[in-house]
Amino acid sequence: MRFDVITLFPELFAPFVSSGVTRRAYESGHVQLRLWNPRDYSEGNYRRVDDRPFGGGPGMVMMAEPLALCLEAIRAERAGGEATPAPVVLFSPIGQALNHSAVAGWAASSGAVLVCGRYEGVDQRFIDAHVDCQISLGDFVLSGGEIAAMALIDAVTRLQPGVLNDEGSHQFDSFNPAIDGLLDCPYYTRPETWRGQAVPAQMLSGHHADIERWRREQRLSLTQALRPALLAAARAAGGLTPADEAFLAGLAGTTGSPP
């Protein structure tokens, strides 16, 4: 898997690729990362990559030509290295919100070209000519696409086989189909009592069936309280068992809210 990132600030990625899971992924070759600065493809002494918007208004707009030339260089290098052609992704507030399903899809792909916008945005003509999809992290605005690119790469990287120390650990992440798309449960470690708070007795019982049932019930109750739409989706998909429904009914009887 290879990601080519078009960014005016490639130095932002140095700490990202030098620690933790991402470092392990890059050093092992599970994920390749190439950084490209569009200033290297701009003309003139000042290597200009932005200009004022037509029609007036605040801010600057990233120019289409340096981005297009940078993209051409990426495609030429990928073709020369026999890399699979990659879709071009722009991080933008108007994009589709990134979720687990989308991350899993990217994790099964061969990678992408990620365009990190800056300023007021990117010349629409470049978007119309070259961008295949747009992605948003949520209903807020960042100063640039670099943080969004790191978020996508990190989420995709941890799903690659051999990257995590425990192969199965991501199977129990929140939103994962392995737990029916629910939120994950709380976790505890030593000591058994910390500042007056004890670990739940089920976690110390050694009874695996009881432990798994407790965890399932915690996932159900947390999801009902915090993200009820996820619970509704799990129910619609047939992911809830009669035992799950009985537990939720009991919660409803306690709280007075519907399951």
Structural tokens at position 31: 């994920």
Global pTM value:
0.89
Q: For 2-157, which CATH superfamily applies?
A: SPOUT methyltransferase, trefoil knot domain (3.40.1280.10)
Calculate the average pLDDT of the chain: 93
Number of C-beta neighbours around residue 54 at 10 A: 8
Q: Point out the catalytic residue in the list 2, 65, 75, 120.
A: 120
Alpha helices in the chain, H assignment, sequence order:
20-28, 64-80, 100-107, 124-130, 146-157, 208-226, 228-236, 242-255
pLDDT digits 0-9 by tens, 56-66? 999 999 999 99
Q: What is the pLDDT of residue 168?
A: 62
Domains 2-157 and 169-255 share a fold: no
| 180 belongs to the catalytic site | no
Q: Point out the catalytic residue in the list 93, 184, 213, 227.
A: 93
Q: Point out the catalytic residue in the list 24, 78, 158, 215.
A: 158
Describe the chain by its helix, strand, coil percentages, rounded to 5.
Answer: 45, 15, 40
Q: What is the pLDDT of residue 78?
A: 93
| 158 belongs to the catalytic site | yes
Distance from C-alpha of 73 to C-alpha of 250, rounded to nearest angstrom: 61
| 166 belongs to the catalytic site | no
- Domain residue extents for the chain: 2-157, 169-255
Number of C-beta neighbours around residue 220 at 10 A: 25
pLDDT digits 0-9 by tens, 73-82? 999 999 987 6
The architecture in CATH of the region 169-255 reads Orthogonal Bundle (1.10)
Which secondary-structure segment (H or E) carries 5?
Answer: strand 2-6
Residues above pLDDT 90, as percent of the chain: 81
